[in-house]
A and B are shown apart, each in its own frame.
Chain A
Amino acid sequence: MWKYILKRLIQMIPAILITSFIIYFSMNLTSGDPAMLVAGEKATPAQVEQVRQELGLNDPIVIRYLKYMGGMIRGDLGTSYVTKQDVFKTFMSRLPATLELSFASVLIAVLVSIPLGIYTAVNQNSWKDTAGMIFALFGVSMPNFWLGLMLIVLFSLNLGWFPSSGRAGFQSLVLPAVTVGLGLAALITRTTRSSMLDVIRQDYMRTARAKGASERRVIYKHGLNNALIPIITVIGLQLSNVLTGSVLAETVFSWPGIGRLIFDHISKRDTPMVTGAIIMCSILMCLVNLVVDIVYAFFDPRIKAQYVQK
């Protein structure tokens, strides 16, 4: 297993190289002349030229890319054109907010969706099933940022229970996490239900009942364990989605996360910041995928056997 993890970590390197290559080139080729941006509007052509020298912008782009990669190995992702701060440090300062929101929302999503998915599957075609599925359907049909706004209207403006913006302690985490979490819950509920429906038909469920196992035990011990693989897949996918994709929730709640960081700096053409942040995100997502694969092995001996062989 350790060998497998090591191998996967090594395999991540080319993936990160390719991603960083694509991002670096597309960012640098499309965002105009950064020297003008850095030097400021009133700068004379000579000043702009000087800035260009300092930033090494006169080198061919391939050379710049190689230098950039060289810096990356040392944890140096350059300096923001706009804030003049270290990109890596800025990213790291935003990371905790993003991780906090991601984990809280995935936790909420899992707690809601897995029991609900099981419940609807077990009661297939009854009104309970229909009610659960309608809930999930509403969830996937709703713009998530709108859900956030509605929660603010209700719980913040009218009831005053939670703050509507900012990040200050547990109170302020509740609404953003519920917003993102319910959106995810809808998706995971649908997956859980269909996966459980598959499993419920299996012969080994009947074997378990014939042994005298209680319905509860049959569903949770024999059913859920077998239904987990597709569920873990969506959770993994969604986890990497929220890590980088909660820009909307972050906007609605003024949550100082990474999505918002990228969004703000893209419009300011801050190439080093955006490039660095996206590369870091892709590394993060590779790690999440690795964790998901390890979790698979934990739940399914057949997958584990494959890993051990490899």
Chain B
Amino acid sequence: MTENILEIKDLVVHYETDDGVVYAVNGISLAIGKGQTLGLVGETGAGKTTTALSILNLVPNPPGVIKSGEILLDNINMLSLPARELQNVRGKDVAMIFQDPMTALNPVMTIGEQIAESVMLHHKDFSKEDCIERAKEMLRQVGIDDSRAADYPHQLSGGMRQRVVIAIALACNPKLLIADEPTTALDVTIQAQVLALMKQLKQEFNTVMLLITHDLGVVAEVCDEVAVMYAGHIVEKGSAYDVFNHTLHPYTEGLFNSLPNLRERGEELVPIKGMMPDPMQLPTGCVFAPRCPYVMDKCRLGQPELKDHGQSHFVACIAYDSEDFKLRRNS
């Protein structure tokens, strides 16, 4: 028994397609404690969405297969739960906000019905009116007038739709809220509003949040802890403060360098050179070695383990085997 709401242990997920096996998630471990927000950061294709779907045991199968690992949601293993109980947990204990609000809503149901459905599925004792009442309340909570409950998704803007998706997710007051790039598809001004709303609702509903993003700015604003993901591996994880101010992994450093810096405008952006490896043919050594500016011969031998570098700040990089290794950013 732990205090953690969510614990992922050695999760491995593959997509077994006709063209070959996609090594999407390759043995990651994560935990989120009470009241925390964990940011999961990484480029497109790193395996973030796959990780999130695994938590709900919703990886599309075929082609996706969860090969091994354990996912404990409030000490219940999601991966060994029978279908019926899984349905009871989904939406009630853990809920998810998807990346693209334009496609995440059912086009032929009113938004009111869609929120009410969430309530109805987990409150068998509620009457239909109760569910609709609750749906309207949720709409107000996310800042939409409840007179719009009878609207269909096509009548709403992208930002409003994302609010509806948030309302659906929070309707049953879940213990864990997974938000998969909730603002990526939105206009910049709307992004800020939606983010603020999520922060506020997280407090009100007292839920734990896994926030998936490729935007370090969003992480800085919302998260307590950060895990950096690259090609299916966690390469660095720790408190947001540590990861931002005492960056350890060369990949994380690369992410920061490729970020525009408003205070020092004109400073050159340094993109990480090269591309993410093809997840069907991962390199044999450290997955980041082909792009790493600090690469050494021994990096090509195997994927380094995630090791504690003090104060629960973990890094998967063998350069730290020697005491005096420092990233340029830190020196």
Contact = CB atoms under 8 A, between A and B. Distances in A.
A–B contact with Cβ pairs below 8 Å: the answer is: yes
A7 interface: no
Given A210-B56, A213-B121, A301-B152, A204 B87 contact: no
B105 A210 contact: no
A210 B154 CA distance: 21
A1 to B, nearest CB: 16
B327 interface: no
A128 interface: no
Contacts of A203: 98, 100, 103-104
A202 B153 CA distance: 15
B89 interface: yes
Contacts of B118: 211-212
A222 interface: yes
B58 interface: yes
Given A209-B58, A214-B87, A204 B121 contact: no
A300 interface: yes
A202 B87 CA distance: 19
B83 A215 contact: yes
Interface in B98-149: 98, 100, 103-110, 117-118, 121-122
B90 A204 contact: no
A206 B98 contact: yes
B87 A213 contact: yes
Contact of A204 (B91, B106, B154, B155): B106
A152 B266 CA distance: 86
Among A125, A207, A305: residue with most chain B CB under 10 A: A207
Contacts of A212: 87-92, 118, 121-122
A203 B168 CA distance: 14
B103 A209 contact: no
Interface residues of B, number: 32
B95 interface: yes
A204 B91 CA distance: 14
A225 interface: yes
Contacts of A213: 87, 91, 117, 121
Contacts of A207: 98, 104-106, 165, 168
A42 interface: no
A230 to B, nearest CB: 14
Interface in B62-105: 62, 83, 87-92, 95-96, 98, 100, 103-105
B83 to A, nearest CB: 7
Interface in A214-241: 214-215, 222, 225-226
Interface residues of A, number: 22
Contacts of B110: 301
A210 B108 contact: no
Contact of B106 (A125, A210, A215, A226): A226
B89 A300 contact: no
A298 to B, nearest CB: 10
B87 A208 contact: no
Contacts of A84: none
A299 interface: yes
A302 interface: yes
A211 B91 contact: yes
Interface in A274-310: 299-302, 305
Contacts of A305: 152, 154-155
A204 B105 contact: yes
Given A204-B107, A302-B107, A211 B90 contact: yes
Contacts of B88: 212
Contact of A211 (B62, B83, B117): B117
Nearest to A299: B108
B100 to A, nearest CB: 6
Contacts of A302: 107, 152, 154
Nearest to B52: A210
Contacts of A208: 106, 117
A94 to B, nearest CB: 39
Among A204, A208, A211, A305: residue with most chain B CB under 10 A: A211
A73 B90 CA distance: 63
Nearest to A301: B152
A301 B98 contact: no
A208 B113 CA distance: 12
14 contacts: A125-B62, A202-B103, A211-B117, A212-B121, A212-B122, A213-B87, A213-B117, A225-B108, A225-B109, A226-B106, A300-B108, A301-B107, A301-B110, A305-B155
Given A206-B104, A209-B56, A210-B90, 8 more contacts: A207-B105, A210-B98, A212-B90, A214-B87, A222-B109, A302-B107, A302-B152, A305-B152
